[in-house]
Chains A and B, each alone.
Chain A
Amino acid sequence: MDNIGQKVLEVNNLTVTINGNTLLEHIFLEIYEGETLMLFGENGSGKTSLLMTIMGLGPYKIETGSIFFKGKEVTHLPPSERAKMGIGIMFQRPPTIRGLKVREILELIGHNSTDPEELAESLNFGSFLDRDLNLGFSGGEIKRAELLQLLAQKPDLALLDEPESGVDLVSISLVGEAIRKLLEKDVHHRRRKKAGLIISHSGHILDYVEADRGCVLVNKTIWCMGNPHEIIQGIRKQGYKGCLTCQK
């Protein structure tokens, strides 16, 4: 496979179905090293399906197209391989895993090189380390548990599914801070290596994490690539249907 330069993620003409129904059609997407791309779309537009397909999860069937990560094709690799290559995902609604402690999953992900205590401290999550993963967690606690795992994994590309949904105002600043750390937002942009694809239907996360570009998922495909703030302003004025009048 040819190396295609600084692109971290390249999605080419991706069409995805589930049980014969088309969810995503002719998706083209590129994300570069150090870049954060914001993907907007209303509920049910297929944003999560796109993230899951990039990670290799779920019952989705790729009808056409390909996915490249750091120049290597990953279209049909299992999620564990993609994770090892450097893709990480923050789930919107992760499952509960009884008996698996937060501490244990952090040790598994970090191959015992991560100090769970230190990591949890940064997200004020120390008291949750010996709790079963996601069992009885509130919305904000679920997000923090997800981000803790990503911080232990240190992915080169973080796929973040609605990081602000269900999070109260106190937790959202913690969540925003953790995402900034994950995406090396405090590193000068020229030296920044970590990339992110954040999906959001409200755009509130932009108040806490800067994004370089934005795009919209409407009618099963990508529209309106551009400045994320301008895009969300447009959506707030005209709704997602307004995007259909924009140039693709």
Chain B
Amino acid sequence: MSDLSEIEERAKKAKEKPAKYGSDIDLEKFTTEAPNYPQQDLGNIDLVDEERLLNAGVDITGKERSGSFIQVDGSVLHAVQTQDGIEVMSTRDALETYPWLQEYLWKIVPVDSDKYTASAELAFQNGYFIRALPGAKSKFPVQACLYLKENKISQNVHNIVIAEEGSELHIVTGCATDSPELRALHIGISEFYIKKNAKITFTMIHNWAENIAVRPRSATRIEEGGVFLNNYVCLHPVESLQLYPTAYMAGRGAVSRFNSIVVGYPGCEMDIGSKGVLSAPEARCEMITRAISTGGKTITRGLLVGEVPDIKAHLECRGLILEGDGEILSIPELDGKVAGVDMSHEAAVGKIAQEEVEYLMARGLTEDEAVATIVRGFMHVDITGLPPVLKEQIDHAIELSEKSLL
């Protein structure tokens, strides 16, 4: 049996397999049927709401970007690179251009993980391929937008990102919907490959709507001296979100950092986690999560697996419940498999301390201003190595969320 047919067979067998975490979504309620839209120049795209995109970190003008990718439902509207050494194209085009790319498909995200990975294979609807050639360094971030437009659409994308040896790649991915009332499902498979001494910073800003279910499935393989910086921001209501990206630190000195900032609203169900597998000496992994709840249930998970001596890993999760009926369940896990690992975690869930509010009021801030300042500070995570433009995007997303939070 060829690799391709074997993958398909495994996907078929997993068609009904529920995911380990998160509520089970009935895929029958969604369709992959949607109009086909032609490719367009960035400036002429009128199928998308520019403001919604901008709030998700995607600038339709393409200024200060090393490339842009926009997919609406199943149609790739735009895939253009603007810097030598940085490739941006649809996954379908990339598979045709580079037959070797098959070797990267479903290698670190098993196709039979659950019904969502199976669905992404059996009803594949493109996705993006972004690659930095050896030694290339992106001057600006590459932006990728996955946009939902059609009611009841199930958008099933498979993304491949490769940073070749010694390269550096910054990516901002914005996800948004065309209208707040839209009911839809997004399944996004992402496989990241970071070669020797390469670096990827990946910032994902989710700007979904109240009736959207989201099931990203992603994994990263980091070789010797490689660095992966993963930032995840979800500050707007979403019906159901479950993700659990995994980083495999496979080479000596490989580093990964996960920073997640999420807000759970009433009626939202969020199950946010990440896993780091450290299987080479001197590997490092850090996971930092900030979760705010104004209602609904938020689960934050973190699992660190130390497989060899001389690794260091830390997990930190802080939760803030702003309203009485919100719930945050924090589940940190450390799995040290040999002697000589250095792993730690800290988790705290609480409410805003009255002492902190009064402290700021004594400086002249009103009670509302004091609470807003504390919440803003809580969501602020020091992210080293992030290009200023990406930091601005995250700060902008936090600013926008403050009004709806307080």
Complex: chain A residue closest to B378, CB-CB? A99
Given A57-B358, A58-B358, A95-B355, the answer on whether A100 and B363 have CB atoms closer than 8 Å is: no
- CB < 8 Å: which of A55, A84, A98 contacts B377? A98
A36: Cβ under 8 A from any B Cβ? no
Total number of A residues with any Cβ neighbor in B under 8 Å: 24
- When distances are taken between beta carbons in the complex, the residues of chain B under 8 Å from A99 are 376-381
Contacting pair B358 A97 (CB below 8 A): no
Q: Is A23 an interface residue (CB 8 A)?
A: no
Interface of A is mostly: mixed
Which A residues, 66 to 80, have Cβ-Cβ distances below 8 Å to chain B? 78-80
Given A79-B358, A95-B356, A153–B376 Cβ distance below 8 Å? Answer: no
Q: Is the CB of A95 within 8 A of B353?
A: yes
A83-B363 in contact given A57-B358, A95-B355 (Cβ < 8 Å): yes
- Cα(A57)–Cα(B357), bound, Å: 10
Using CB atoms, name the residue of chain B closest to A100: B377
- B363's partner among A78, A95, A109 (CB-CB below 8 A) is A109
Is there an interface contact between B364 and A84, defined as CB atoms closer than 8 Å?
A: yes
A197 to chain B, nearest CB (A): 14
Does B373 count as interface, using CB distance less than 8 angstroms?
yes
Interface residues on B, range: 20 to 34
A130 nearest CB neighbor, chain B only:
B382
| Bound CA span A132–B381, Å | 11
Query: Does B361 belong to the interface (CB within 8 Å)?
Result: yes
By a CB distance below 8 angstroms, the chain B residues around A149 are 363
Given A95-B353, A95-B356, the answer on whether A79 and B380 have CB atoms closer than 8 Å is no
Structural contact, A105 and B363, CB atoms closer than 8 A: yes
Is A57 a contact of B374 with CB atoms below 8 Å? Answer: no
Against B, the Cβ 8 Å flags (1 = close, 0 = not) of A76-118 are 0011101110001101001101111000010011000000000
Distance, CA A176 to CA B83, complexed state (A): 57
Contact A80 B367 (CB under 8 A): yes
Q: How far is the CA of A101 from the CA of B379 in the complex (A)?
A: 13
Alpha-carbon distance between A88 and B360 when the two chains are bound, in angstroms? 11
**A residues 110-154 with Cβ under 8 Å of B?**
132, 149, 153
Q: Check B380–A55 contact: CB distance below 8 A.
A: no
Q: What residue of chain A has the Cβ atom nearest to residue B359's Cβ? A: A95
Q: Which of B356, B364, B374, B380 contacts A153 (CB 8 A)?
A: B364
CB-CB nearest in chain A for B290? A99
Residues facing A in B357-392 (CB within 8 A) are: 358-367, 369-370, 373-374, 376-381
Task: Look across to chain B and name the residue whose beta carbon is closest to the beta carbon of A155.
Answer: B364
Which residues from chain B contact A80 at a C-beta distance below 8 Å? 361-362, 364-367, 369-370
Q: How far is the CB of A157 from chain B (nearest CB, A)?
A: 13
Residues in A neighbouring B360, C-beta threshold 8 A = 97, 105
B residues within 8 A CB of A97? 356, 359-360, 373-374, 377
Instruction: Indicate if the CB atoms of A89 and B362 lie closer than 8 Å.
Output: yes
Question: Could you tell me the distance between the alpha carbons of A98 and B318 in the complex, rounded to whole angstroms?
Answer: 11
- Across-interface contacts of A91 in B (CB, < 8 A): 359, 362
Whether A55 pairs with B355 at a CB distance below 8 angstroms is no
A187 to nearest B CB, angstroms? 24
CB distance from B218 to the nearest CB of A (A): 27
**A83 CB contact (under 8 Å) in B361, B374, B380:** B361
Contacts of B353 in A (CB 8 A): 95
Q: How long is the Cα–Cα vector from A30 to B363 in the complex, in angstroms?
A: 23
Name the B residues within 8 Å of A89 (CB-CB). Answer: 362
A222–B373 CA distance with the chains assembled, in angstroms: 38
Q: How far is the CA of A57 from the CA of B370 in the complex (A)?
A: 14
CB distance from B133 to the nearest CB of A (A): 36
Cβ 8 A contact of B362, one of A79, A98, A108, A132: A79
**Which residues from B are CB-within-8-Å of A108?**
363, 365, 373
CB distance from A80 to the nearest CB of B (A): 4
Residue of A nearest to B363 (CB): A109
Contacts of A98 in B (CB 8 A): 318, 377-378
Residues of A within 8 A of B376 (CB): 99-100
Are B359 and A78 interface neighbours, CB within 8 A?
no
Judging by beta carbons under 8 Å apart, are B361 and A78 in contact? yes
Q: Please determine whether B365 and A78 come into contact, CB atoms closer than 8 angstroms.
A: no
User: Knowing A99-B376, A99-B380 touch, does A83 contact B358 (C-beta < 8 A)?
Assistant: no
Q: How far is the CA of A57 from the CA of B367 in the complex (A)?
A: 12
Could you say which of A57, A99, A105, A132 has the most chain B C-beta atoms within 10 Å of its C-beta? Answer: A99
- Which residues from chain B contact A55 at a C-beta distance below 8 Å? 362
Q: Which residues of the other chain, B, contact A82 by a CB distance below 8 angstroms?
A: 362
Residues of A within 8 A of B379 (CB): 99
Q: How far is the CB of A123 from chain B (nearest CB, A)?
A: 17
The list of the 5 closest CB pairs from A to B, nearest first, reads: A99-B377, A99-B380, A100-B377, A83-B364, A79-B361
Interface residues of B (CB under 8 A from A): 318, 353, 355-356, 358-367, 369-370, 373-374, 376-381
Residue contacts A-B, CB under 8 angstroms, 24 given:
A57-B362, A78-B366, A79-B358, A79-B362, A80-B365, A80-B367, A82-B362, A83-B362, A83-B363, A83-B364, A84-B364, A91-B359, A91-B362, A97-B359, A97-B373, A98-B378, A99-B376, A99-B377, A100-B373, A100-B374, A105-B360, A105-B363, A109-B364, A153-B363
Residues of chain A having any CB pair with chain B under 8 Å = 55, 57-58, 78-80, 82-84, 88-89, 91, 94-95, 97-100, 105, 108-109, 132, 149, 153
